[in-house]
Amino acid sequence: MKTVKKVLDILEVFLDNREEHGISELVEITGQNISTVHSILQELARRGYIRQKQKRGKYSLGLKFLSFSNTLNKIMTIEDIVHPFIVELSKEVNETVNLAVLDGNHATNIAIIHSIHKLRVVMDQSVGLPLYCTGVGKVFLAGMTDEDLDQYLKNEKLIANTLKTITAGVKLKNQIRKIRRIGIAYDNEEHEIGIRNVAVPVRDGNGKITLAVGVQGPSVRLSLKRAKQIAPIIKKYATAISELLGYHESDFS
């Protein structure tokens, strides 16, 4: 098991988004002696997991990993990868959880885990969600550039679904700026009376918001105070999913 750990420690160094690493650097990062690192690299190179462009040059990941990637892409979808996380999130907060993608001028749920409460929010995966008055929708608006956000507001009619719906573009833009800053979006009964929603972004390896994770429940149980309390929990799971997609906050700070 110690040998396996040493091999994995070396391979995981290459997850830092840098293309190449020298042997002395690998020794320093892993804490292994140079002869051990050299022996492991030689075997990994022989099997195609590592390649050395020039003799005595730096090492990079080999093409063998493409075979794993291609196989994984064939057998797993993003829903498969994320499903265990949203199941656990739903259990922890005891409310309905949805995972959404941006689809034109609305958000589309690609996965939903319903709460076990008798009084719960039941979502229809086939129904698109407006961006301006839902938690997941606001997450995607926050991921837009200012120019794209202005274009969206120019083309989209902000219909008052409830008395709490924000229908003024300036007010919505101010809220979007806050969402960008804190990384949390709220739907305070803006889409439907009696339903509150809190959502956070999921980012890919380029830092782009590609998914949004939301938790919703009846407002009598999911108060604004409760929504703010569970926001860090949602962030925890969203961060784990983002890291699976190759995002590391330290790379963008």
Closest to 158 measured CA to CA, from 185, 135, 190, 126: 190
Enclosing H/E stretch for 188? strand 185-188
What integer pLDDT is reported at residue 205 of this predicted model?
84
Confidence of residue 3 (pLDDT cuts 50, 70, 90): confident
Which element (helix H / strand E) includes 233?
A: helix 224-244
pLDDT at 49: 86
CA distance 70 to 64: 10
Mean pLDDT value across residues 179-203: 97
75, pLDDT greater than 60: no
Domains observed in the chain = 2-71 (1.10.10.10), 76-251 (3.30.450.40)
pLDDT value at residue 246: 83
Residue pLDDT, tens place only, 24-67 = 999 999 999 999 989 998 898 888 888 887 767 788 888 777 77
Question: In terms of pLDDT, which residue wins out, 240 or 246?
Answer: 240
b/e per residue 147-185 (b: at least 16 CB within 10 A): eebeebbeebebeebeeebbeebeebeebbeebeeebbb
CA 236 from centre of chain:
10
Query: Average pLDDT in the 199-207 region?
Result: 92
Q: CA-to-CA distance for 177 and 108, rounded, in angstroms?
A: 23
Q: Using the 8-state DSSP alphabet, how is residue 216 labeled?
A: E
The DSSP secondary-structure symbol of 16 reads: G
CB 211 within 8 Å of CB 100: yes
- Whether the full predicted model's pTM is greater than 0.75, yes or no, is no
pLDDT at 187: 97
pLDDT of residue 184: 98
Mean pLDDT lowest for which of 6-10, 154-158, 195-199?
6-10
The residues, any chain, with a CB within 8 Å of residue 42's CB and separated by 6 or more, are none
For the chain, give the mean pLDDT.
Answer: 90
